[in-house]
Amino acid sequence: MLALAITYGCNNKQNPRAVKTSLTSTVVAQVGIAPSFAYAQSASCPCKGATLSTIASKAVPAVVNVASSRVIVQQLHSPYSPFFNDPFFRQFFGPMRPKTQKELQQSLGSGVIVSQDGTIVTNNHVIAKAQKIVVTLPNKQEVPAKVIGADPKSDLAVLRLEKKVKDLPTMKFGDSDQLQLGDVVLAIGDPFGIGRTVTMGIVSAKGRANMGITAYEDFIQTDAAINPGNSGGALVDMDGNLIGINTAILSKSGGFMGIGFAIPSNMAKPIMESLIKHGKVTRGYLGVTIQELTPQLAQAMDLNPNTQGVLVADVMPDSPAAKGGIKRSDVILSINGEKVATPLQLRNLVATAGANTKVELEILRKGRGETVTITLAEMESPKAPPQFKEKAGTLSGMTLLDLNPSVREKFNIPGQIKNGVLVDDVDPDSLAAQSGIRPGDVILEINQSAVKSVSQFTRLYHGSQKHTLLLIYRDGTTMYFYLSK
């Protein structure tokens, strides 16, 4: 069995001194007749026979290089650190302060200028956790940029240049729904940081999902070459319009192997607009549990085995679906006239429609067709676990969770541990980590007061003035930790 790895077309993290570039020359045979694909026909100019070079020259200036950087702090472990982390020895030697070193981490990617005010669309993974972003324009001018908004669930981000630049080249959004299999497309980006590059291919597939790349997937698949550094670059149609944001490749080697993925423009544009307007993406929420309608299920429900739709397995109480009359065993055939054949397709269409939006659902109920109108609600983002936010303090850098049943099961907390809070994460460079606190620890007491919740722990910790005494359960035993403030 061949194992295929999903590899982002960006995050070209590299040490400039260690990078070597080898160039090889290629002999191109002269031909008397231009190949048929050298001329492109489009809906707007079907008879003009625009050349690929004309389209490329129109689109390339709007594609920029995006360089992001951040300083990370690495902890240098001593071979004696496990010994000195033992609470018994810390009574004599005190807490050990591990040595650290700072390292500059850099990432190269691409972006597309979409408006004269310097708005740039790129991938979230190009700029994730960046402390500094610099955009290189076609004229080699370097301009700092700031993040307007980012959406990890779709792997999209919006930047804006921090300095006004006159006569910026821009690229218009195209209609990705009009793409057909076999359409010629161009991929434009800055692979390996060598400069803007144009590659050509076709639309190999549409609606690619379940790839495990992002939470919301509806990718255009193309065989136009996408390499490290191309992420965030443009997929361009034969009108020179932006119809996709190049995002990832499917590869066994880490390099391009003929399968690349781009986020379609009709998905990217509303996300961009929401990030600009709200700073976040407001996705629509229907409130149903759905599953694939297999031929066997269709036949068991006295439906045509060839019925294409999505089966409603459950309806959430007080949800938009419940208020709109959707019932369990309904089959959703379309949303706003667009046919749906898979649960993921329906999920994407609902999310893209947005909150407080009315949608028409065509459904089958016991074999009879109906149309219902539903007003979608806003999908709520999961709340982040409680976390200490103070910059100083012996326990800064910890993420704590209440001991609910799912946490107990995940971390295998025994039943005799009735109360406490679980240490879910510890920043390696934090004072909490240096004091010996580890992920998986259960804090039972603070200053000899039993702990029952994260909020109670926070209150008791902030109330302590001089020191913090913790009783911690770890690996079947308990131990005290004394932490001086």
Sequential pLDDT tens for the chain (485 residues): 334 444 444 444 443 333 333 322 222 333 333 343 444 554 444 444 568 889 999 999 999 999 887 765 555 554 444 544 555 555 555 555 555 566 666 778 899 999 999 999 999 999 988 889 999 998 889 999 999 999 999 999 999 999 999 889 999 999 999 999 999 999 999 887 788 899 999 999 998 887 878 888 889 999 998 888 889 999 999 999 999 999 988 877 766 788 999 999 999 999 999 999 988 888 999 999 899 999 999 999 999 999 999 999 999 888 999 999 999 999 999 999 999 999 988 998 999 888 899 999 999 998 899 999 999 998 876 555 555 555 566 777 788 888 877 777 777 788 788 889 998 888 887 777 888 888 889 999 998 899 988 888 888 888 876 778 899 999 888 999 887 66
**CA-closest candidate to residue 243, choices 168, 160, 179, 152:** 179
pLDDT at 99: 56
CATH topology of domain 284-378: Pdz3 Domain (2.30.42)
Strand partners, 235: 187, 244
CA atoms within 13 A on the CB side of 346: 27
Question: What's the CA gap between 399 and 454, in Å, rounded?
Answer: 10
Q: Which amino acid is at 427?
A: D
Q: Do domains 284-378 and 398-484 have the same CATH topology?
A: yes
Q: Which two tokens stand for residue 433?
A: 């980590």
pLDDT at 113: 96
Domain ranges of the chain: 5-13+38-59+170-278, 62-161, 284-378, 398-484
Question: What's the CA gap between 284 and 111, in Å, rounded?
Answer: 27
* Residue 247 neighbours by CB distance under 10 Å: 33
Q: Are 185 and 224 in contact (CB under 8 A)?
A: yes
Q: Which two tokens stand for residue 119?
A: 């708005």
Q: Give the helix ranges, DSSP H, for 79-235.
A: 81-84, 87-93, 124-127
Question: What's the CA gap between 323 and 344, in Å, rounded?
Answer: 23
pLDDT at 9: 47
5-13+38-59+170-278 maps to CATH 3.40.720.10: no
Question: What's the CA gap between 374 and 359, in Å, rounded?
Answer: 5
**CA-closest candidate to residue 9, choices 331, 244, 231:** 231
Question: What's the CA gap between 461 and 445, in Å, rounded?
Answer: 11
Pairing between β-strand 331-335 and β-strand 310-315 as defined by DSSP bridges: antiparallel
Question: What's the CA gap between 166 and 170, in Å, rounded?
Answer: 12
Count of helix runs (H) and strand runs (E) in the chain: 11, 29
Residue 333, H or E segment: strand 331-335
pTM for this prediction = 0.64
Q: Are 467 and 74 in contact (CB under 8 A)?
A: no
Cα three-residue angle 158-159-162, rounded to 5 degrees: 160
In angstroms, the Cα distances linking 4 to 7, 212, 223, 251, 253 are 9, 12, 16, 6, 9
pLDDT at 437: 87
62-161 maps to CATH 2.40.10.10: yes
Q: Are 144 and 133 in contact (CB under 8 A)?
A: yes
Q: Which two tokens stand for residue 225?
A: 């070459």
pLDDT at 29: 31
* CATH superfamily of this structure's domain 398-484: PDZ domain (2.30.42.10)
Q: Are 472 and 481 in contact (CB under 8 A)?
A: yes
pLDDT at 45: 44
* Residue 179 neighbours by CB distance under 10 Å: 21
Question: What's the CA gap between 438 and 424, in Å, rounded?
Answer: 9
Residues known to be catalytic: 125, 155, 231
Q: Are 179 and 220 in contact (CB under 8 A)?
A: yes
Q: Are 142 and 113 in contact (CB under 8 A)?
A: no
Q: Are 400 and 426 in contact (CB under 8 A)?
A: no
